Amino acid sequence: MNRTHVGDDVIAIGDSLIRFLEREVAPLEDANRQLLASERTIYDENGYFVEEVAALRRTVRMRSAEQGFYTMFGPEEIGGGGLGPVAAVYLNALLAEVAGPGRVLVHPVIVPSPFTNGLSPVLTSLGEDQRQQFLPGLASGDKTLCFALSEPDAGSDVFAMKSRAVRDGDDWVLTGTKQWITNGPYADYVMVFAVTDPDLATQRKGGITGFFVETASAGFSVVSTIPVMGHLGAEIGILSFDGVRVPDVQRLGEPGQGLKVAMNGVNTGRLGLSATCIGLARWALNQALDYAKVRKTFGKPIAEHQAVQILLAESALDIYSAETMLLDCATKLESGVRSIAETSMVKLHCTEAANRVFDRCIQVHGGMGLTNELRLEEGYRFTRSMRIPDGTSEIQRRTIARELLASGVNF
């Protein structure tokens, strides 16, 4: 990503991050090349990471934490580095561009999403005693976390959730099923949300409460992983809560205010996801440019064919416009400017633009672009899938339209 609008301190962190990738992660990948070469060896027959891969990911997490990368976007009040949206955009894009797609020891192991691991902004709603108990393990990478809001019948429409939590003395009794939960099959802790006031929830006026749950609790289980888009295994899964008792002191925020808690940091998280997509798109375009210069047809490099030039040019156009939107929105968020429409525009445009870029770059490579060897198809599948989580493209369009109708063109 262009460094023009990024401070020297963030650029220096980015340079250190890439050195970490080269010095710490690449040697582990080289030493375990046979294990990591195929999803048939990465995952077991049930779609879970095999123990050796899970151990390698833990090693990378903890080394990243030692260097400060793993927690650099976490809020300062809970021990994180406190880096803001501009840094998040730049660093996520840089890591994706340099690493490329399909590296299970990189994404999202070195730098986690604010909703799947590490020092999530949601954890600022946890009580002080519980912070002291649980956060050190999360900050070190020794323990992992997941964010459980979605359900089989409640994705974009969160008030349709069926999970319930009922107060019983000093505890809450939690029952329900959560689906599409990133890191759910592997997490030590879950930030889970359930209806605690059905009347308010029916009126869409609240009534949902968040809880911090230990996955070792009686009644908790992982139903399965959910492999998607040609994968043999997954980081995402289905979680079951069957009468899980949660101490009230592990409640996240005030009763009935769970959606406010859940949305803490959502804008920065969406920008980080968008930045990763555009970083991968840059990687793909670089692959296509290199290939177009050396692959010859009809006696000349395909880079000299206008049809190929159009594919390359349109990809550059998508990337440049996306990066400009990303940095502009990140700057507004960092300045405290209300940027709901802009954030939705960014998430929508970046994910769809990256998917278009990968499609074109595969086309430039012809038959080679379809092979697993070049990792383009892996990036294509990833960017296609990112048009759904953290708010589908359709939900983003709805949000944009509602903001326009309420406030006019203020961006």
Give the model confidence (pLDDT) of 175-202 as tens digits: 999 999 999 999 999 999 999 999 999 9
When mean pLDDT is compared across 212-226, 237-251, 260-274, 286-300, the lowest value belongs to: 260-274
The answer on 329 and 304 residing in a single domain is: yes
How far from the centroid of its chain's Cα atoms is residue 97's Cα? 15
pLDDT of amino acid 266: 83
pLDDT interval class at 155 (50, 70, 90):
confident
The answer on 217 and 200 residing in a single domain is: yes
Residue 312 host element (H or E): helix 306-334
170 burial (CB, 10 Å; 0-12 / 13-18 / 19+) is: exposed
The answer on 170 and 61 residing in a single domain is: no
At a CB cut-off of 8 Å and minimum separation 6, what does 98 contact?
Answer: 18, 21, 279, 283
pLDDT of amino acid 267: 83
Residue 141 host element (H or E): none
Looking at 224, 258, 292, the residue that finishes a domain is 258
CA dihedral 131, 136, 142, 146 (to 10 degrees): 30
In a domain, 90, yes or no: yes
At position 264, the amino acid (one-letter code) is: N
The answer on 276 and 254 residing in a single domain is: no
Looking at 76, 107, 140, the residue that finishes a domain is 140
Residue 153 vs residue 173, higher pLDDT: 173
pLDDT interval class at 269 (50, 70, 90):
confident
Helices (H), 176-241: 198-202
The answer on 194 and 110 residing in a single domain is: no
C-alpha–C-alpha distance, residues 97 and 92, integer Å? 9
The answer on 152 and 136 residing in a single domain is: no
pLDDT of amino acid 224: 98
At position 170, the amino acid (one-letter code) is: D
Q: Give the CATH number of the domain where residue 136 resides.
A: 1.10.540.10
Query: What average pLDDT does this structure show over 77-105?
Result: 96
In a domain, 299, yes or no: yes
25 burial (CB, 10 Å; 0-12 / 13-18 / 19+) is: buried
The answer on 367 and 288 residing in a single domain is: yes
ω into residue 108 within 30 of 0, thus cis? yes
At a CB cut-off of 8 Å and minimum separation 6, what does 383 contact?
Answer: 277, 280, 281, 351, 354, 355, 357, 358
For β-strands 145-148 and 189-195, DSSP reports them as: parallel
Looking at 140, 169, 189, the residue that finishes a domain is 140
Does position 334 have pLDDT exceeding 80, yes or no? yes
In a domain, 121, yes or no: yes
Domains held by the chain: number: 3
Does position 256 have pLDDT exceeding 80, yes or no? yes
pLDDT interval class at 4 (50, 70, 90):
confident
Q: Which residues constitute the domain of residue 247?
A: 145-258
pLDDT interval class at 367 (50, 70, 90):
very high
pLDDT interval class at 343 (50, 70, 90):
very high
In a domain, 388, yes or no: yes
